[in-house]
Amino acid sequence: MQGGRPAGSNGRRSQLLARRARKDRAHRPGIVRHRHSRSKRGAENGAASELVGTSKELVGNAIGTAIATAHGTLRNLDWFEVVNIRGGIANGEVADFLVTIKIGFRYEK
């Protein structure tokens, strides 16, 4: 037992995190999670969604992909915040970038 946990419990957690990363990589740009929350700007008038954008070249391109996807389905986009940056490795090199952003939008009146 280590730190109050049975030996090997970290191995199971690592396996779950690796499986989740593979699933995230399988999604190509689009909304993978949708959480309504109050917008930072105009808390009464907006909401936010979390999206993942991907790119094989640059982190900025991954952000642009996520915003372009949101622009196709949402209106009145207002702001974005980078929540997480991850990447895939293949043959010892960067294979792709996955950027999770929170994007805010205003409700129409």
Do 103 and 70 contact (CB within 8 A), yes or no? yes
The pLDDT, as a whole number, for residue 7 is 53
Question: DSSP class of residue 20?
Answer: H
Do 105 and 79 contact (CB within 8 A), yes or no? no
Q: E strand or H helix at 64, and its extent?
A: helix 59-73
Which domains, from first to last, does the chain contain?
29-106 (3.30.1660.10)
Q: Is 11 helix (H, G, I), strand (E, B) or coil?
A: helix
Query: What is d(CA 107, CA 46) in angstroms, rounded to the nearest whole number?
Result: 5
Query: At residue 28, does pLDDT exceed 60?
Result: no
- Structure confidence by residue, pLDDT tens digits, 39-67: 455 445 778 888 899 999 999 999 999 99
- Structure confidence by residue, pLDDT tens digits, 70-104: 999 888 888 999 999 999 999 999 999 999 999 98
